[in-house]
Structure 1
């Protein structure tokens, strides 16, 4: 008779005993156990168990073997059921901790899912294009007098075709010029507000905008051809059945042009993640005629954008290095265009997120902000999983006796690890369910904040399959890791120690939990600091003195169907005079542009007294004589425009006003001395203008950009918008009165208006959106961190309940007990707050570099978040600790 084992026999042998005749079992039991012990020593338990099963099978005929296969499947099912039952009992037993874990993980996952929707969409821009990886847009920098004067995507019509001719690496090219609004007439009905581009016949080959009707090879080849988007075709022609071929060959009229435009195609609407947006595409050849060929061959007409498709395997950096010779060959320094031209290539994948270019027609966003949101999402997820690890390991004493008893009953370490990982998995599943419920509930509100239509499907449709697998793998890895550490720790307890009551937390476990708490609150404090600084910068931009008054200003679009003739100035003056008769209208002015919009530049300006080789660049604007009064622009010297400065014929104009920056650029020593000087501007380089006044600098665009040298000329134009300064409590009545006068003076034209303040603030849409999102998710990060702190502090209080009772019996006050239990946590939070300072400073300093005008990072901006974090942590801890401190000692010590 073999000596019995100290541990119970393995499960397969127990089942063998149940199913085997006693005589047969007694004959093979000893041999099986002996081999089992040898296999454990040589190869480990897992291998030994598998070998034992095979050895058992050898003693049975095939029918019994089949029965035992089913038996061991049943064993696995029983084990799984056991894991599920134990996990359920532990969750039910510790409802508070389980709720904190599920809520913390759920909020973290929900925050990540919402941010991933936004980030995945932003990262998906232009990837629908079949030639996405080989497509580049040409950008250029212009230099005058050794200084960078323009950094943009706008350049000359010859660039793309000439590069394609000179460099064999280029497979094809396309060129584009923004056409502005499509003010069209279709079947005696006018439509306004749809946006179009002039594009060449290669456009639909370079970019993937599939045609629903028409031939993509020829649709944009002939003059006066137009391709409409699906949405626009439906609007213009009332299509409902999708039969777009019915409108091919039909015509429409653009503005006052008597030339009909032929519809040659209908394309799918540009996807929302396309950096190029349009409602119509007009053939580029429409710009080219025998009399006006500059759109095709000019080296000075700067209105075009160019895209290149490189051949497979071509290195765009190697091609870019050849552009210096290209510039010297065709521009000869600054002899041709008046500027030194430098050309570069930007990958199409960067056109949306990494575009700091002027005159950019792309739909752009801040790449730094997008990646910052992704980092915030990962931080929130880490904080949530850290909570789980901390709370699980902090309950080690409760689980230690369970582990000891299960080991005595025959459980091995691998089974215990499986049990604890299964519990982690179950908590994570519940957290995912909670997260999905939160996302569905908050989706509408989140979409309003980011001004988009996102859903959970956005993540799947926006990311490539490879990226989706990476995201899923990261989440699975985090789930396993977050469960593995507690499982490894809890399964390592020795039965002989824990069952004697000598179990203590290890110093390593204490250190890790402290480190994780510090990480949580470091991230939270850094996010609070970032939120405060972002909010201060946004407040600064919204309240800064622009040098121009844009409040209470209504912009009425110009009459698009009224031509300019010898009577137009008089009609415009009568129109303005009629507006001023309305009660509530303070002033009115017209201009060819309005504050908030990018102005055109003039490159060949110089003082008449300087040599012709001098060149200066200024932003230019055409305004009427009321403009500076309407916008309250300060006059520094000279006079403003007078009605007599306006001329019907452009060639008769001879007076200009410049701003203070322009005075500095021209090298004039004072604004007073600038008045009366003559400048050469436009024409063949000999036309002279007299400076009659100098005005103060103002922010034509957002505070992200510097105030530039500006030159103003007197101007009236048929399409110029009207700026109307209001002062009234009944805005809608005044607008109705303005509409009546507008329609009386410009019958047949559509009345469209907006408030300048709203238009100007749209420049900060991305910044405001980033500020709102970062604020919301900072609050979520703090909530998750506080949930963890609630769990840890309440558990600590429970563990020290008897100590508290003894101290109270010995005369300790509630204040001293609260202080005793809180001080350790507050130390960790203080360390976290201090560690967050350099992280927040570096991050925010880097973010503020994107603004020419920005706030100064004072020490108060960093002290305030530290104070906020400490207060939040103190209140979080105190609520739990105070309850323990106020407990009755008689209740806690009566069993001692």
Structure 2
């Protein structure tokens, strides 16, 4: 019997090549879109899952309050927090703490290696995290001062002669920057997986910090630069432990007496560190959880549309299959047998569609990886996904295929042979209603996706076009010299270096600064006007030279910019600062002119406000502009921003490199274009915009295939009516408009229903931006008109073909 079902099913598939092709293509596109998005979603959800203790590991986060106002929401906190919590709370099994070492400059003999990430990590690090060791003891590798663990990539880079003999690397030494004490390699671990929220090339022992800082890195309650991770004992509810942190804060910080702020501590599950982190000073490799789940919803929409297509396309052929069903019932076929037959046909179509989807995935994989920025493959995802998830996905697809095949099977098997063979076959009103409802669902989804795509695109354009309050275009940044020594001659050497740069044809200006646009700035606390002591404030801190304001075209609201005489080799001797307008207003001064000449203090230093500059967006538009204090500071860690005004960048860069090497011999020359780095803040958003745009297009294509099926069905059902109307003098235009009206109404209803769905969905997405567009009626009307136009063109093609038939042939057929 199964063989007979299979033979008949394959015969029907091959007999109706166009119908089968449309069905396979529609389902294939839908399944391919789902498989691609499943790769992306599964990868994003896989972050840190390789750690054995992930379900019990949490990182400590910290909110700081002054005068009842939240001034910092971050992952950085004090050196003592992890050890004190482990000591006070028996629920904690172990902890680890680390501090970023930032950019690496490794010196081995006369060779220098620049670049990469580093952290100072304590001896518990490899107990908390499951990074695999290739050489060395994971328990003691980070125990002693000036010990270090390298990743295999870093190890091969620093000690190429040893190739992959990692054991032989144990005991080797290197210097970090200008340090006089060497670090000893005590371990080599596997390269950090790409799906780890912590990335590093070198880990240096936290004991080094303790020794160098004379125990401040171990005992300080005010040095806020450390990150802490806790592993809880099995069965501990982290929320119940978190509830005890208020008493912990009161006990050690006594309100704001110790740190100057009221401290609130929380726990974030390690699983959430990648997708649900909106913290300042975060070292995690982060992405948007909202965007990831939005893509999964898009995938489900596309698959739903594809399954609806199959239902509509199959039932649209009801007239072709009606006599077949009638004859088979007369010959004794049971309804259950017919249902099995039609479901088998559905499974065959689905299987062929899945094969087509696999081919499409292979063809599109490279382009998809370029958009996502990940090295993904379907096979890799299958290998790394747990069996339970794979079974769930397979079951979902199978159930969807069965459900989408069951309704057509039920409809086709329900024909009454007497009625059918008499030629009096008609469709039920209930069946028509369901098909129309399904079309509404399809185009509601499509219109909502179009609206979302337009609003995402508008927000991204807003980001690109918005006036930042500074100019970052045509700015080349040369990295700070890694081997420069701070002494009394350094400031003059930098001034001479910048002067030489200005002699290069094509260089407009140059400035040095401790941070660049796009960087998260450090904060200064307890700031207030010297004449006012009742309130203290927090401001972001930027150290820069006297050319910074002019190089970045930051406009002044009052006073003057920095002068060369404002700089001092001794930080404690600096007496001049500049504030932005937001800082001035924070201090209670409405007119920037009134701020000039006033004295600002943090109770340890006092400065005169010499100028007020207009606000600019130091960070992305996701973050509000903060009160900022600009200080005339030189530093050996300061990069040089060089504004160029020529298209011959190759010649200019060569000249800049020559000057750099003249003034900083022995240092490696590295540069980048600031705008590229600044825009990396929007990488996830740009990626989301591209993906949603592409898959919205696929959704529309698949929906239109379904509309072809329904309009074809209607035209077939009304063939006799069309013939009679033409005999009575109806024009082709009249017939087309008559038959199209129902479909246009369906699509119009769908477009209207999509508006609230798209509105609430995009409002939720836009909440992630402090500065965002306000969607107007245009963003909702354009998709409505676009969907109507696409539907009208699709419908008209099918209806016009039926309306152009000769009525003689039509009525003769009837």
Could you state the TM-score of these two structures normalised by the residue count of structure 1?
Answer: 0.90
Match status 1:755 vs 2:673: yes
Deviation at 1:462, TM superposition (A): 4.2
What residue is the counterpart of 1:816 in the other structure? 734
Deviation at 1:887, TM superposition (A): 2.2
What residue is the counterpart of 2:172 in the other structure? 250
Give the one of 751, 754, 765 matched to 1:833. Answer: 751
Give the alignment of 1:275-424 within 5 angstroms.
Answer: 275-289=197-211, 292-424=214-346
Give the alignment of 1:453-532 within 5 angstroms.
Answer: 453-532=375-454
What residue is the counterpart of 2:581 in the other structure? 660
Give the one of 203, 207, 214 matched to 2:125. Answer: 203
Match status 1:671 vs 2:589: no
What residue is the counterpart of 2:807 in the other structure? 889
How far apart, CA to CA, are the structure 2 residues paired with 1:408 and 1:892? 28
- 1:782-809, Cα deviation, whole Å (9 max, x unpaired): 0000011112212322333333222222
What residue is the counterpart of 2:767 in the other structure? 849
How far apart, CA to CA, are the structure 2 residues paired with 1:679 and 1:89? 87
Match status 1:729 vs 2:647: yes
Deviation at 1:460, TM superposition (A): 1.7
> Contact 1:592–1:721 (CA<8 Å) still a contact in 2?
yes
Deviation at 1:844, TM superposition (A): 0.7
How far apart, CA to CA, are the structure 1 residues paired with 2:740 and 2:787? 15
How far apart, CA to CA, are the structure 2 residues paired with 1:201 and 1:251? 19
Deviation at 1:241, TM superposition (A): 5.5
What residue is the counterpart of 1:229 in the other structure? 151
SS in 2 for 1:149: strand
Deviation at 1:457, TM superposition (A): 2.0
Change (3 A) 1:386 1:81: same
How far apart, CA to CA, are the structure 1 residues paired with 2:589 and 2:753? 51
> Contact 2:145–2:211 (CA<8 Å) still a contact in 1?
no
Which segments of 5 or more consecutive residues in structure 2 lack a partner in the other structure?
A: none
Deviation at 1:399, TM superposition (A): 1.5
- 1:342-391, Cα deviation, whole Å (9 max, x unpaired): 00001111111111100000001100110000000001000000000111
> Contact 1:384–1:784 (CA<8 Å) still a contact in 2?
yes
Give the one of 637, 654, 659 matched to 1:741. Answer: 659
How far apart, CA to CA, are the structure 1 residues paired with 2:531 and 2:579? 17
How far apart, CA to CA, are the structure 1 residues paired with 2:722 and 2:426? 19
Deviation at 1:894, TM superposition (A): 4.1
SS in 2 for 1:252: strand
Q: Computing the radius of gyration over CA atoms, which structure comes out larger, 1 or 2? A: 1
Match status 1:771 vs 2:689: yes
SS in 2 for 1:136: strand
SS in 2 for 1:180: coil
How far apart, CA to CA, are the structure 2 residues paired with 1:776 and 1:502? 46
Deviation at 1:732, TM superposition (A): 1.1
Change (3 A) 1:852 1:135: same
> Contact 1:121–1:462 (CA<8 Å) still a contact in 2?
no
- 1:615-663, Cα deviation, whole Å (9 max, x unpaired): 2100001110000000011111111100001112222111111111111
> Contact 2:316–2:712 (CA<8 Å) still a contact in 1?
no
Deviation at 1:536, TM superposition (A): 0.2
- 1:391-411, Cα deviation, whole Å (9 max, x unpaired): 112222222221121122122
How far apart, CA to CA, are the structure 1 residues paired with 2:160 and 2:319? 73
Which segments of 5 or more consecutive residues in structure 1 lack a partner in the other structure?
A: 1-78
* Range with greater deviation from structure 2 (593-602 or 80-89): 80-89
- 1:268-306, Cα deviation, whole Å (9 max, x unpaired): 111111110111100001101276211100000000010
RMSD after superposition? 1.2
> Contact 1:138–1:308 (CA<8 Å) still a contact in 2?
yes
Match status 1:622 vs 2:543: yes
- 1:565-596, Cα deviation, whole Å (9 max, x unpaired): 11111110110000000111000000001100
How far apart, CA to CA, are the structure 1 residues paired with 2:813 and 2:579? 91
How far apart, CA to CA, are the structure 1 residues paired with 2:385 and 2:265? 32
What residue is the counterpart of 1:431 in the other structure? 353
How far apart, CA to CA, are the structure 2 residues paired with 1:223 and 1:321? 36
How far apart, CA to CA, are the structure 2 residues paired with 1:405 and 1:885? 31
Runs in 1 of length 4+ with deviation above 6 angstroms? none
SS in 2 for 1:369: helix
> Contact 1:592–1:720 (CA<8 Å) still a contact in 2?
yes
Change (3 A) 1:526 1:290: closer
- 1:457-506, Cα deviation, whole Å (9 max, x unpaired): 24324432212211111111111111111112222222222222222111
How far apart, CA to CA, are the structure 2 residues paired with 1:865 and 1:251? 63
Match status 1:608 vs 2:551: no
Give the one of 33, 36, 48 matched to 1:111. Answer: 33
Give the alignment of 1:62-211 within 5 angstroms.
Answer: 79-211=1-133
Give the alignment of 1:800-811 within 5 angstroms.
Answer: 800-811=718-729
Give the one of 777, 784, 787 matched to 1:859. Answer: 777
How far apart, CA to CA, are the structure 2 residues paired with 1:504 and 1:880? 21
What residue is the counterpart of 2:566 in the other structure? 645
> Contact 2:740–2:796 (CA<8 Å) still a contact in 1?
yes
How far apart, CA to CA, are the structure 2 residues paired with 1:221 and 1:316? 29
Deviation at 1:425, TM superposition (A): 0.4
> Contact 1:703–1:853 (CA<8 Å) still a contact in 2?
yes
Deviation at 1:820, TM superposition (A): 1.2
How far apart, CA to CA, are the structure 1 residues paired with 2:387 and 2:663? 59
What residue is the counterpart of 1:216 in the other structure? 138
Change (3 A) 1:241 1:657: closer
SS in 2 for 1:346: strand
How far apart, CA to CA, are the structure 2 residues paired with 1:250 and 1:117? 41
> Contact 2:100–2:120 (CA<8 Å) still a contact in 1?
yes
> Contact 2:132–2:190 (CA<8 Å) still a contact in 1?
yes
How far apart, CA to CA, are the structure 2 residues paired with 1:889 and 1:115? 49
> Contact 2:287–2:684 (CA<8 Å) still a contact in 1?
yes
How far apart, CA to CA, are the structure 1 residues paired with 2:109 and 2:586? 52
SS in 1 for 2:117: strand
> Contact 1:121–1:458 (CA<8 Å) still a contact in 2?
no
SS in 2 for 1:151: strand
SS in 1 for 2:196: coil
How far apart, CA to CA, are the structure 2 residues paired with 1:392 and 1:705? 51
How far apart, CA to CA, are the structure 1 residues paired with 2:267 and 2:443? 43
How far apart, CA to CA, are the structure 1 residues paired with 2:323 and 2:222? 85
How far apart, CA to CA, are the structure 2 residues paired with 1:660 and 1:890? 82
How far apart, CA to CA, are the structure 2 residues paired with 1:776 and 1:474? 24
- 1:10-69, Cα deviation, whole Å (9 max, x unpaired): xxxxxxxxxxxxxxxxxxxxxxxxxxxxxxxxxxxxxxxxxxxxxxxxxxxxxxxxxxxx
Give the one of 697, 713, 735 matched to 1:795. Answer: 713
How far apart, CA to CA, are the structure 2 residues paired with 1:290 and 1:656? 31
How far apart, CA to CA, are the structure 1 residues paired with 2:431 and 2:42? 37
Match status 1:548 vs 2:548: no
> Contact 1:561–1:749 (CA<8 Å) still a contact in 2?
yes
SS in 2 for 1:288: helix
SS in 1 for 2:274: coil
Give the one of 552, 559, 562 matched to 2:484. Answer: 562
What residue is the counterpart of 1:22 in the other structure? none
Could you state the TM-score of these two structures normalised by the residue count of structure 2?
Answer: 0.99
Deviation at 1:135, TM superposition (A): 0.3
How far apart, CA to CA, are the structure 1 residues paired with 2:162 and 2:298? 45
